[in-house]
Each structure stands twice: as C-alpha cells, then as structure tokens.
Chain A
C-alpha cells in the first residue's frame, strides 16, 4: 500500500468502520508481535494490544498525516502502553512465558499453542531477560532496531525523537547490554 492509499484509507476509517477494520487487519499482527517481544508474555501482550487499538480508535480523530505512518502511530501508542505497564507493575525481573491459566475469553487451544511457540524461542527469552534489566528507554530502541528491524528514521518517528537521540540511545543500550551479557566462551 502506498502512502497516499494509506492516507486515503485513514480518512475513510474516520467515517467508515469497515475501513477501520482494514487498518486493523493490516496492523494487528505487527503490533501484537512487537508487544510480545517487549513483554514476552502472551496474556499481557494480548491485553496491551487490545488497549493499544482501543486507544487508537478513541484518538483516531486526532490523527493527522505528518509524515508519520499509521503503523508508526500505532507503535507509538503501543510503546506508551508498554511503558505504562512496566511503570505500574514496577517490573524488574523477566516477564518470560508464564504457565498461568489463560484468559477465559479466548479459546484455550489458541493460547496454549501460542505459549508453546513462545517457549521454543529459548535464545530470544534469554536475551529478553537481559534486555528487561535495561531502563525502558533502551529496551524500546533495542527491540525496535534488532527484533523489529526498524531503521533509525522509523524508530525516531515511532518514539517522536530525533534520529541523533535514537542513535545515542541505541549505542548506550547496546553498551549496557554488552556489560550484562558477556559473550559466550569468554
């Protein structure tokens, strides 16, 4: 989808629920998986994803096309929601896959399947545990850069910061990570 097509779709989505449905379908997976990579917990990822899209719907009238794509705007909302979650929970330890009972609203098989799949990502879960030890500002840039494969410019758009600031945050985040994650074999 070109930028102009997306722009047109957003304008339609302000009036037509079907157009909003299209935007949702285009972005649900990206946003859910970004949140999952940040929290490494299926249930929490579901809750934050729901909150992100509900906030997006509430604030859609405010969305103005200012060289920030709709998905970048959703990533920004998601990042705020994740930060709020960490702040309220004061999480200092890993939120890796938990075997707690799943939400009763979702068919159990879906959740169990997702949890099993997450459990298989052992390397990711180890690194994620380390990333969680970093301050949130470093967690988000590291996740966006390395797990979401976003360019510096895109991260700057998502977080509403200058590219120079992102480069600096990324450098310092990686340095901190290096300190707490010594290379194997040393």
Chain B
C-alpha cells in the first residue's frame, strides 16, 4: 500500500462540491446581457482573424519571391562571370556573341552563347578592316552557338559543346519545296546565273534557347522547326545565298558574295 501513497489518499479524499446560486444567477444575467454587444465584436475580430493571416502570407510570399529573384539574378551573374573567363566563351563574346539563355541545375549552370548571323554589310565591313583578306573572307561568317557547363563549386567551366548541331535540319521534302519556290521566282532567274550550282540547302539560322527537363538541359530552336530555308549557290568561286520563306512560298532575299583573292 505504501507504493500507492499518496495516490490512494488523493483519490479517496473528499473534495468540495459547492454551489453559490446568487453568483450563478448574477453571472448568467451579466453574460446574457452583454451577449449582443460581444457578438458585434465577433464580426470585427473574425474579419481580422481571416484577413491578417492572408495579408501576412502575401507579405511572406512577396519577400520569398523577391529573395528568390535576387538569388537567381546573382546566380546568373556569377555563372556569366565564370563562363566569360573561359577562352572559347570569351572569344565568341568578342565576336559579337551574347548569352542567350541560362539554366541553373543544382550547383551547375548552363549558358547558351550565340552570335547573330552576319549580314552582307557586316561581312563587307569586316573585310575592309583586314589588311590581307583570305580567299573566303568575303563569305559571311557562319553563326556560332556554344553551350557552356559551369560548376559553381569549383568556379570553372566544365564542358563546352557546339550548340549549332542542335538546330533541326530540313527534311528532303522541305529541301525540294525550297528548291521549287526558288526556281519559280523571277528574282532568282534575274540575279543568279543559270550555271550556278546549288551547294547546300539548310535551315536559316535561328535563335536558340535552353530547355530544362529535370536535370537535363538541351538546346532547341526558339520557334520550333524552321520556316525559312537558305539555298546556297556557287559558280566560279562566287556565292549567292537565297533566303526562302517557306510559309509564304516566296524568295525573301538574295545575297551575293564575291570571292576575294589574296
């Protein structure tokens, strides 16, 4: 029994069970008398109760959003800084390349660096700046795109890949359709000599973008498959490039590039 002490004593003890009717009645009257006054306050408190958490949540989400935006911008800037130290990326940027797209995956960043397509005018201006132009210098430079994989931990570029190969090539049918549009065009007949041979038919270089699927980042054309084709004609070292608008079925532009001897 000793072990049960003091539990048994506590359980068995007689406790007061008292009633004070006057207090009971008076308190009841006070409570019911103030019921409607209190009830009016409930509406205000209830509204605050519902609004305050929503407002607080909105503020928290806004702060998180701003914070994430800042962190993301910081990561983008850091990735660009690391990538720009790589000689290949540096060289492409010096040739007019821009960072088109960046994706962050864990501790890595993927940067797409792309040069715009050189216009004939730009090509000619470049030739004018060269002291000893090479044989093919007058031809417009093929646009370039690279995909750089940056590691944040070691602050270095892990891998550089050629991104141009990612452009969707034209099918044989599409090439045939482009050829047919060009052949029907009076402009082609007027500008390009009959003897000029078609050297290549390829999609017009387009703007690229990065697509992230899980941890995999891939390069894709910005507007899906090309709707323009480029037909390259050659004759005696001269070159013509005819841009075919496949949707409108017309020749959009023909550029002529004269070969320059050393």
Q: How many pairs, one residue from A and one from B, have CB atoms within 8 Å of each other in the complex?
A: 110
Task: Name the residue of chain B whose CB is nearest to the CB of A184.
Answer: B9
Within the complex, which residue of A114, A147, A183 is in contact with B18, where a contact is CB–CB below 8 Å?
Answer: A114
Contact between A106 and B15, CB atoms less than 8 A apart? no
Contact between A124 and B11, CB atoms less than 8 A apart? no
Given known contacts A29-B19, A117-B16, A124-B13, A24 and B6 CB-to-CB distance under 8 angstroms: no
Contact between A110 and B38, CB atoms less than 8 A apart? no
Q: How far is the CB of A13 from chain B (nearest CB, A)?
A: 9
Q: How far is the CB of A70 from chain B (nearest CB, A)?
A: 14
* Chain A, 64-97, CB within 8 A of any chain B CB: none
Interface of B is mostly: helix
Q: How far is the CA of A176 from the CA of B30 in the complex (A)?
A: 41
Which of B13, B23, B39, B49 has its CB near the most chain A CB atoms (within 10 A)? B23
Is A138 in the interface zone, CB < 8 Å from B?
no
* Chain A, 5-37, CB within 8 A of any chain B CB: 14-15, 17, 20-21, 24-25, 28-29, 32-33, 36-37
Is A152 in the interface zone, CB < 8 Å from B?
no
Task: Name the residue of chain A whose CB is nearest to the CB of B11.
Answer: A146
Contact between A49 and B49, CB atoms less than 8 A apart? no
Is B2 in the interface zone, CB < 8 Å from A?
yes
Given known contacts A21-B28, A123-B14, A147-B15, A46 and B20 CB-to-CB distance under 8 angstroms: yes
Task: Name the residue of chain B whose CB is nearest to the CB of A56.
Answer: B31
Contact between B6 and A174, CB atoms less than 8 A apart? yes
Residues of B with C-beta under 8 A to A121: 14-16
Total chain A interface residues with beta-carbon distance under 8 A? 44
Residues of A with C-beta under 8 A to B18: 32-33, 36, 42, 114, 117-118
Per-position binary interface string of chain A over residues 48-66, scored 1 when its CB falls under 8 Å from any chain B CB and 0 otherwise? 0110011001101110000
* Chain B, 36-55, CB within 8 A of any chain A CB: 36, 38-39, 41-42, 45-46, 49
Is A107 in the interface zone, CB < 8 Å from B?
yes
Is A178 in the interface zone, CB < 8 Å from B?
yes
Q: How far is the CB of A169 from chain B (nearest CB, A)?
A: 14
Within the complex, which residue of B6, B16, B19, B22 is in contact with A183, where a contact is CB–CB below 8 Å?
Answer: B6
Task: Name the residue of chain B whose CB is nearest to the CB of A97.
Answer: B16
Contact between B42 and A50, CB atoms less than 8 A apart? no
Contact between B32 and A21, CB atoms less than 8 A apart? yes
Contact between B16 and A33, CB atoms less than 8 A apart? yes
Is B17 in the interface zone, CB < 8 Å from A?
yes
* Chain A, 120-139, CB within 8 A of any chain B CB: 121, 123-124, 127
Q: How far is the CB of A78 from chain B (nearest CB, A)?
A: 13
Contact between B16 and A20, CB atoms less than 8 A apart? no
Given known contacts A33-B16, A61-B45, A181-B6, A110 and B22 CB-to-CB distance under 8 angstroms: yes
Residues of A with C-beta under 8 A to B13: 123-124, 127, 146-147
Task: Name the residue of chain A whose CB is nearest to the CB of B28.
Answer: A24
Within the complex, which residue of A25, A37, A110 is in contact with B20, where a contact is CB–CB below 8 Å?
Answer: A110
Is B34 in the interface zone, CB < 8 Å from A?
yes
Chain B interface residues (CB < 8 Å from chain A): 2, 5-7, 9-11, 13-24, 26-28, 30-32, 34-36, 38-39, 41-42, 45-46, 49
Inter-chain pairs besides A53-B27, A61-B46, A123-B14, 13 sampled, C-beta below 8 Å: A25-B28, A32-B20, A32-B23, A46-B20, A106-B26, A110-B20, A117-B16, A124-B13, A124-B15, A146-B10, A146-B11, A174-B10, A183-B6
13 cross-chain CB contacts under 8 A = A24-B27, A28-B27, A29-B19, A46-B23, A50-B30, A54-B30, A60-B42, A114-B20, A121-B15, A123-B14, A127-B9, A174-B6, A177-B10
